[in-house]
Structure 1
Amino acid sequence: MALFSLQTILALLTTALLFALSLIHIYWGFGGLWPGKTKQDLIDKVFGKGTQFPSPFSCFFVATGLFLFSLLPWIWMFRFELKLTQQTLNLLPYLFYIVSGIFLLRGILGYFPFLTKHWKPIFVQYTKRIYNPLCIVLGLAFLLILYWF
């Protein structure tokens, strides 16, 4: 496998994106406010409703999940070199379907008006311009990695 094949670039970009998202969740867990200026501004931009930000534990839990998801492209790409058991090899595609489904569902549902009518306008704007497309791209990336490697 060439070092800079399209598959490798896709895996690298997917991993980098998920790792960056993991770091943002860690930042929030330690009290960071970006992309907001105040706690309420952050809640409005990232969650769309409510007045209470999730606990640090919740932020770290999501960060851990995103980090583990970021490893999947490489585990799949090097599955034979890692000498995984046959049972693990058989289960890996299902894990890819689950992760892909999570991202695709999040990305698609954010376009439905029956959900967005309950959210703050700034969150709806961020959702339609950033969060939904990002989730759809990640969901499709996991499917591409699964079938392309």
Structure 2
Amino acid sequence: MLNNHHLAFTSSFLLLSIAAIHVYWGFGGLWPGKTKQELIDLVFGKGNKFPSPFICLLVAVFLFFFSILPIVWILKEELSLDDKKIFALRILLTMVSMIFFLRGIFGYFSFITKQWKPIFIYYTKRIYNPLCLIIGLFLLLQILN
């Protein structure tokens, strides 16, 4: 069974990795595509306009912030957090967990995916949704332990 340290480091690593990909995109990277349109099709599923570098970097900042929360949670005693700060941290972790759960769950509903490109539906159901559900679960399990 995974303990809180495993959950924290795994979820932090996953979130940092996703943040790094957003930084890469913010600086013009195209992976996993080869062209801008292919990247849009693979990671957004529709449209022909990629978010601005500012938006990519803003998302990366939020993901980086989210990645710190699990580590702070396991170090809350060492950091001498008072009850109010622990409560606020619990709320933040719950909210972030719910964001990832919702992203993971909604990608399975056809009324949402009907406007998406088939390649994005393929990847979202096999990679993006499960990854979001795992991150959401790991964050939630931490605060429940």
Which 5+ residue runs of structure 1 have no aligned equivalent? Answer: none
Deviation at 1:79, TM superposition (A): 0.6
TM-score by length of 2: 0.96
Verify: 1:10 aligned to 2:32, yes or no. no
After superposition, what is the alpha-carbon deviation per residue over 1:63-94, rounded to whole angstroms, capped at 9, x for unaligned?
01111111111101011111223321221111
Runs of 4+ more than 6 Å apart: none
**1:43 maps to amino acid:** I
Contact 2:7 2:139 in 1 (8 A): no
**2:85 maps to amino acid:** T
Verify: 1:136 aligned to 2:139, yes or no. no
Alignment of 1:1-149 (within 5 A): 6-148=3-145
Q: Which has the higher contact order (CA 8 A, sep 6+)?
A: 2
Q: CA RMSD in A?
A: 1.0
**2:94 maps to amino acid:** Y
Deviation at 1:13, TM superposition (A): 1.1
Q: Would the alpha carbon gap of residues 86 and 6 (structure 1) be closer, same or farther in structure 2, given more than 3 Å must change?
A: closer
- Single out whichever of 58-67 and 86-95 deviates more from structure 2: 86-95
Report % sequence identity.
Answer: 56
The 2-side partners of 1:107 and 1:90 are apart by: 26
The 2-side partners of 1:100 and 1:8 are apart by: 17
The 1-side partners of 2:14 and 2:86 are apart by: 25
The size of the alignment, in residue pairs, is 144
- Single out whichever of 135-144 and 86-95 deviates more from structure 2: 86-95
